């Protein structure tokens, strides 16, 4: 399979970058992760797959989970979700409080921390048990059970002062309906979802397939909703370097400080790369380069 050969080639090409950079250290449970790991997997809309390296090693997906929580919120609420959350790039760090004050507690987009916390609040309002509902959604995408890393979730909570400040700030503007501690509990657990590259590529394949899960044939979202999520991934999905990702890679991407990055090739495939060592922007160094090489060699781009 040509994609298998390409992934093997890319694995060799990024070898010198694997382990360069720093693992996320502000969450102690992430600081202990071995940086010298690399996995890359893809899942085609036709069900074909390819993978290399540590593609079956589970990792904490962190902010990549925001794609799943946003998808669940759109399932439950639809367009009303945007009354509380914007759709513009922030241009600031993912945990910045600056814009919230100027914009009266309304987050710029659902992929910065403030926006994801606002999404978690909506899930609390519309689910009997938001944490379980999110697990059930992701498990349904894979047709197999997944779980949270409860050590990571506890570590997130113990070192989540800035997220707590963000949530209280939004609540002061009336943009959170539920108690801050309840909303943050959902948010910290979603960040602690644990999946492998292979699982992530499969779980996100609906984003490349017009909202239909290729593995199960079930519809996850409408075509319009999927286009919107991919647009937000392209413009807001990789912290404050989304423009650079669009320029160098040309695909909708969503990254996390656990070192994972997903990417969508519409009507073709979903991709997931993971390498825990991060660059200055908080994105995986080796993972970013691997996606750049894949897009160039495979000739895929949304432009």
66 is catalytic: yes
The b/e string for 11-41 (b: 16+ C-beta within 10 A; e otherwise) is beebeebbbbbebbeebebbeebebebbbbb
Which of 257, 265, 273, 300 is an active site residue? 257
pLDDT of residue 96: 61
Domain-ending residue, one of 134, 169, 191: 191
**214, 254: one domain:** yes
**19, 38: one domain:** yes
Chain segment 237-266, per-residue pLDDT in tens: 998 899 999 999 999 999 999 999 999 999
**180, 72: one domain:** yes
Question: What is the CATH classification number for the domain harbouring 145?
Answer: 3.40.710.10
d(CA 121, CA 182): 8
Which of 23, 60, 66, 275 is an active site residue? 66
Structural domain of 268: 2-62+194-298
Half-sphere exposure of 73 (CA within 13 A, CB side): 26
Domain-ending residue, one of 175, 191, 207: 191
265 is catalytic: no
Over residues 226-243, the mean pLDDT reads: 95
In a domain, 303, yes or no: no
pLDDT of residue 187: 98
63 is catalytic: yes
Over residues 14-41, the mean pLDDT reads: 93
Task: Report whether pLDDT(94) > 60.
Answer: no
**154, 97: one domain:** yes
Chain segment 107-140, per-residue pLDDT in tens: 999 999 999 999 999 999 999 999 999 999 999 9
d(CA 22, CA 273): 17
Chain segment 162-194, per-residue pLDDT in tens: 999 999 999 999 999 999 999 999 999 999 999
């Amino acid at each position: 399979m040509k994609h298998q050969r390409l992934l093997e080639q890319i694995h060799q090409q990024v070898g010198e970058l694997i382990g360069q950079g720093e693992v996320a250290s502000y969450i102690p449970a992430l600081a202990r992760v071995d940086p010298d790991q690399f996995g890359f997997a893809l899942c085609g809309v036709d069900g074909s797959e390819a993978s290399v390296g540590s593609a079956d090693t589970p990792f904490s997906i962190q902010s990549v989970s925001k794609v799943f929580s946003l998808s669940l919120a759109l399932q439950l609420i639809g367009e009303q979700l945007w009354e509380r959350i914007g759709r513009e790039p922030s241009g600031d760090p993912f945990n910045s409080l600056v814009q919230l004050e100027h914009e009266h507690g309304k987050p710029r987009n659902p992929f910065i921390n403030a926006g994801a916390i606002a999404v978690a609040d909506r899930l609390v309002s519309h689910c009997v048990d938001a944490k379980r509902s999110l697990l059930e959604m992701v498990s349904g995408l894979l047709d197999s059970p997944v779980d949270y890393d409860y050590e990571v979730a506890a570590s997130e909570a113990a070192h989540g002062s800035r997220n707590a400040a963000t949530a209280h700030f939004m609540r002061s503007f009336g943009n959170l309906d539920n108690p801050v501690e309840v909303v943050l509990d959902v948010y910290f657990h979603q960040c602690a979802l644990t999946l492998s590259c292979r699982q992530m590529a499969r779980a996100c394949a609906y984003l490349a397939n017009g909202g239909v899960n290729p593995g199960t044939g079930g519809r996850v979202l409408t075509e319009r909703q999927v286009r919107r999520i991919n647009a937000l991934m392209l413009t807001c999905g990789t912290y404050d370097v989304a423009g650079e990702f669009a320029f160098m890679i040309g695909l909708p991407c969503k990254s996390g400080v656990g070192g994972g990055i997903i990417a969508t090739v519409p009507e073709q495939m979903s991709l997931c790369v993971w390498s825990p060592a991060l660059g200055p922007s908080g994105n995986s160094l080796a993972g970013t380069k691997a996606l750049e090489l894949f897009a160039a060699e495979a000739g895929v781009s949304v432009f």
